[in-house]
Amino acid sequence: MKQPGPEKVLKQLPHDEKCWEEWERKGGWRPEGWKIVEMNDGPTLNDLKPEKFLIVHRPHGSMFHHSYGKVSQFFIGLLEGKLYGTKCSKCGLVYCPPRAHCFNPKCRLVETKWVELPKRGEVHSYTIMAIAWPSMAHLQPLVGVMVRIEGTNTCLPMTMRDIDPEKVNIGLKVNINISKQPKGDLLDVYATPAEEPVAPKRSPEELKRFREDMEKTRAWVKKTFGPK
Amino acid sequence: MGKKVGIVAGSISRFDNPRHTLQEEMCAEAVKMILDDVPDLELGDFIKKGYACCYSYFSDILEQQQCMHWIINDYLGLSGVPSYRVESGGATPIDAIVNAALWIRSGMFPVVLVVGWEKMDELPIQKVNEAIAIAGDTDWDFVSGFTYNAFYATMEARRMHVYGETEEDLAEVSVLCHNNSLENPYAQWPAQHGFSKITVEDVYKSRLISWPYRLYECAMTSEGASALLLANEETTKKLTDNPVWISGVGFGSDTMRAGDRPDNPAWKGLYPEDENIWPKHVPKPMSPYPDLQNFGALRVSARMAYKDAGIKDPRKEISFVEIFDPYAGVVLAGLEDFDFCKRGEGKNMLREGIIQRHGELPCQLSGALTAQGHAVGSTSIAQVVDSYWQLSNQIGKKWGAPGRQLNNPKKAFIHGHGGTGCQAGAVVLEV
Ligand SMILES: [Zn+2]
C-alpha cells in the first residue's frame, strides 16, 4: 500500500483568501435588517384573512474549492487555448463535454483517451436570452447555442458573439473561440459564425415581434448599463 | 398483497408568491384539510398502526435549510413515525407519490401520508433561478451562460425546426393553462392577476425570457404545500366511500445534460417507430429519439405506468391529463411522449381543440405550472389532488366551481419530471 498524498501544486493562480474570508464572516446569518408586513393569507382564495409577518434580511455565503477530477485536462486545455475531448477506443464515441469513462452501455465503463478537437462546429439548436445571468445581463440579447463540435457525438452549450440574433439558426457552421484571459470554466468558450448565417423562416408578424423584443432588450441594457 | 393503492383524501394549501407563511404552517394547513375530510384518521395512530410519511421538497438552498422534512414531521406531531424525503428536482413530488404507492404495494405500510411543499421567495429572483439551475450540471450546463429557460428554449427551437411548431402554438398552450386556472382557488395566476381570461395577444405582450419563450409560457415560482393520503385497498375502503385508485405508476430517466442526447447509444433502437419519424430537411442524429425535441424519460415513465395500469390505448382510455409543463412546449412534447399522438403531432391536438377544457382529452385543467403555480415539491401532488377531486366528483365543492366538474371521467394521467427531462414519473388514476 501507498499513501496518495500530499498534493503537489504544479501551477496556480491564487485567489484573495483574505477578501473571501471576510465575506464569509459577513455572511454570518445575523439579520442586517427587517420589516413587518401585513398580507392576506389562507389555504385557498375562498378563505383569506389578514396576517402579520416579520421578515428578516439574513445573509450567508462561501468560497468553494472545486476539483474538475479526471476531466481536468479539458479546463487545463482552455487555460492553454486548446480544445480537448475524450474518445472511447472501444466504440469510437467522442465526448465534449468529456467523460473519463465511456457511457455506451456496451463499453462497460471503459476509460477514455484525450483527443485535441478542431475549433469548429455546427449549431444543433439555439435560443436568444432576453434574461441572462446577472453577470452577463449587459450582453442581452445574448445568443445561446448548443454546438456539436466537429467529430464529437455531443453538444456543448455556449454563448455566441458577432451575430445578429435574428440570423442564428440550426445548422449554422461556427468557430469555437477560447477567451484570451481564460478563468478555467466553460464560460471561457464561445462561438462565432464561420459562414454567412441564413435566418430561420419567420412570418411578418413574428419578425416584427422579434425585432421589437430585441429593441426592448437593448433599450433596457442601455438604460441599466449606459451606452457601450 | 393487493396491487391497489387508494387515494383516501387530498389537499392543497394554495400557491402564491410570497405566501410569507412558513413551510411547516402551509403543510399543517394541507394536512388539517385531510384530517377534516377523514374523521377516522388520527395522527396519533400512525406509529401504532404502522403508517408512514413520505416528504417531498426540492431545494435545501432556497431557504438554506437542510432536512426541512424533519421540521415538517416534528411540526405535524409525527415523532417516531417512519418517514423520509424524496428529492429529484422537478420530479420530486411525482416521485414521492410513486414511492409511497410502492411502499403500500410492498405490503410494508397500510397507509402513507405524502406531503410536499416549497418556499421560493427568500432569495432575490436571480438567486432563485441559480438555485434551480444548479440542478443542472454545474461544471457543464450551468456555467455555459445558459439559464434553465435557455435550455428549454433550445429544445423548443428544435421542435419548431423539426416539427414546424410555431410561436402561436406556444401562446395558445399558455392561454389554455391560464384560462383553466381562473376558477381554481388554489392557483397563483388569479391570486395575482385577477379572474379575466387572457388571449394570445396578452401572451405576446408578456416579456421575452429566452426566445421562443415569453414570461406567460414559463412556470411561475411559487410557495405552497399539498398532501395526499394513500392506503391499501382494505384500509381505503374503511376510510372513504368515494375512493380513487392509483392503478399504475412509472418512472424513467435520461442524461444529465440535454446536449448528450442526440447520439446517446443508450436510446438507439429503443423506439424505432419514433426514430423513423424524421423530416428530410434535417440531418438525422445517431439516436433520433428523443434528441432535443422529445423527452425519453417521459416515454419510459408513461409506458411503464400504462403497462402497470393495464392500459392498451391511452388516447381512448384516459379521460384527462395533467402535464408537468415548466415551459409551454412541454405540453406538446408530452402528448407525443405519452402516446396520445405520434411524434411531431402534439401541435395538431392543440390546434384541433382536443386538449381544450371541453375537448376530447382535456389537459392542464388545474392551470398547471404556468398558472396554478410551481412550488416545486408541491407541484405534482397538487396536480394529482386536482385530478383526484375530478375523478371523485368533488371539484365543485373543493374549488367552489361546480361548472368545472367533468362529466363522469374514468381515468386520469398525471406526469412530472425534473431537469431538462433528466428524470420523470407518472401515475394513472382511476375511479
Ligand atoms: Zn465506448
Closest CA to B302 of B287, B285, B322, B272: B322
Cell numbers at A193, concatenated: 459564425
User: Given a cut of 90, is residue A6 above it in pLDDT?
Assistant: no
CA A99–ligand 1 middle distance (angstroms)? 10
Q: How far is it, in rounded angstroms, from Cα B266 to Cα B64? A: 37
Closest-CA residue of B relative to A122 is: B283
Q: How far is it, in rounded angstroms, from Cα B189 to Cα B16? A: 8
Looking at the domain assignment, is residue A3 inside a domain?
no
Note whether A132 contacts B145, CB cutoff 8 Å. Answer: yes
Note whether B145 contacts A126, CB cutoff 8 Å. Answer: no
Using an 8 Å Cβ cutoff, are A110 and A101 in contact?
Answer: yes
pLDDT tens-digit profile of A64-105? 888 999 999 999 999 999 999 999 999 999 999 999 999 999
CA A73–ligand 1 middle distance (angstroms)? 19
Using an 8 Å Cβ cutoff, are B264 and B287 in contact?
Answer: yes
At A113, which helix (H) or strand (E)? Answer: strand A113-116
pLDDT the model gives residue B391: 98
> DSSP readout, A11-63?
S-----HHHHHHHHHHSBS--SEEEEEEEEE-SSTTS-EEEEEEEEE--B---
Looking at the domain assignment, is residue A46 inside a domain?
yes
Tallying the residues shown for chain A, one arrives at 228
Using an 8 Å Cβ cutoff, are B94 and B414 in contact?
Answer: yes
Nearest-5° Cα angle at A125, B124 to A71:
75
CATH of B5-123+225-239, one of 3.90.230.10, 3.40.47.10, 1.10.1760.20, 3.40.50.970: 3.40.47.10
Residues in Cβ contact with A10 at an 8 Å cutoff, skipping those fewer than 6 apart: none
pLDDT the model gives residue B125: 82
Looking at the domain assignment, is residue A194 inside a domain?
yes
Is pLDDT larger for residue B224 or for residue B132? B224
Closest CA to A109 of A72, A60, A70: A70
Looking at the domain assignment, is residue A2 inside a domain?
no
CA B91–ligand 1 middle distance (angstroms)? 30
Domain parsing of chain B, residue ranges: 5-123+225-239
Cell numbers at A189, concatenated: 468558450
The mean pLDDT value for B75-86 works out to 97
ipTM of this predicted complex?
0.94
Distance from CA of B146 to the nearest CA of A (A): 7
Q: How far is it, in rounded angstroms, from Cα A84 to Cα A75? A: 8
Q: Which domain holds residue A135?
A: 120-225
Closest-CA residue of B relative to A67 is: B139
Looking at the domain assignment, is residue A21 inside a domain?
yes
Looking at the domain assignment, is residue A12 inside a domain?
no
Q: How far is it, in rounded angstroms, from Cα B259 to Cα A145? A: 10
Looking at the domain assignment, is residue A43 inside a domain?
yes
Q: Which residues of A are less than 8 Å from B19 in CB distance? A: 41
User: Given a cut of 50, is residue B7 above it in pLDDT?
Assistant: yes
pLDDT tens-digit profile of A112-127? 999 999 999 999 999 9
Minimal Cβ distance to A128: which of B19, B210, B283: B210
pLDDT the model gives residue A17: 85
Task: Please state, rounded to an integer, the average pLDDT across all residues of chain A.
Answer: 93
Task: Say how many domains are in chain A.
Answer: 3
Best of A146, A166, A185, A211 to substitute, by most chain B Cβ atoms within 10 angstroms, is A146
Looking at the domain assignment, is residue A6 inside a domain?
no
